[in-house]
Structure 1
Amino acid sequence: MGLQEDFEEHAEKAKTLPESTTNEDKLVLYGLYKQATVGDVNTPKPGVFNMRDRAKWCAWEAVKGKSKEEAMSDYITKVKQLLEEAAAAGTS
């Protein structure tokens, strides 16, 4: 399986992450996903009163400069990690 297919598969798996997934982890995934699919952040930073969109923008900005392939690989690794943590938490 190629990197693109693996990435798409893990993007689908990310939708099954539990509600308990932290916002920080969700923002990391968001930033990596946007970097992998769009590239460097290309929109103005949202205003201070738009906290949700501003946090998402900052997460994307944090991975600025990563190649598409590197962002895909990091995204896959993060989804695997979160799924493993969720499985471990479910068995305890």
Structure 2
Amino acid sequence: MDVLLSGHIELSEAVPAPASRAGIPGASAHLPGRAFVTAVVPDEDLDREVTVSLHPERQRDIPFAVMRWFMEKVADEMARSRAERPFDSGT
């Protein structure tokens, strides 16, 4: 599950939603749990590198397909945040 908050993307475990949400139309059966991989895409300073942090205290075996999906989300966020900023020619 990913959470997008101004340049932050998290890969977290999915936890069951409370039973009280069962009657809500369109409500997800799962909610984001604690993040175990976080990426930060700095959109305020294009010279800063994108960083990916692994949280070893929340050790999980991440299937390659899931990690690839997560990194595609990071690449999409990089493209989106770079596209929103006007081109700076440095002059």
TM-score, normalising length: structure 2: 0.35
Larger radius of gyration: 2
Structure richer in helix, relative to its length: 1
Ranked by relative contact order (alpha carbons within 8 Å, sequence separation 6 or more), the top structure is 1
The TM-score, its normalising length taken from structure 1, stands at 0.35
Q: More strand by proportion, 1 or 2?
A: 2
